[in-house]
């Protein structure tokens, strides 16, 4: 929220909403992936299948959300991509630090 208000003050409403959408594009598919993965049983074969299924759905959902934002919504591309990249990098770094 702090980043949202900071972008709003500096670059305007369109850039702030674009940055929020970029963050959402990174977070929503990751949450869906986690939900699919955490629903797996302890069996290795089932877990591996859910891992691949979840990752595939995550890629497709990410592409669909980008498409919706770019085609249907009036977004500023730079804030959208920078916030997507920032959230994605923070997710990767959080996995590396555990």
Q: Kindly list the domain boundaries of the chain, sorted by start residue.
A: 26-96
% of the chain with per-residue pLDDT over 90: 40
pLDDT band for position 68 (50/70/90)?
A: very high
Q: With residue 38 as reference, give the H or E element that holds it.
A: helix 13-38
User: Model's pTM, two decimal places?
Assistant: 0.81
DSSP 81: H
Higher-confidence residue of 43 and 86: namely: 86
pLDDT of 47 higher than 60? yes
């Amino acid at each position: 929220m702090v980043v949202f208000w900071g972008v709003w003050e500096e670059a305007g409403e369109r850039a702030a909403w674009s940055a929020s959408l970029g963050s959402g594009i990174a977070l929503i598919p990751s949450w869906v992936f986690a939900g699919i993965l955490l629903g797996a049983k302890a069996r290795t074969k089932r877990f591996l299948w859910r891992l691949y299924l979840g990752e595939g759905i995550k890629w497709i959902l990410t592409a669909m959300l980008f498409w919706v934002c770019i085609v249907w919504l009036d977004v500023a591309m730079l804030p959208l991509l920078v916030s997507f990249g920032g959230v994605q990098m923070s997710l990767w770094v959080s996995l590396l630090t555990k």
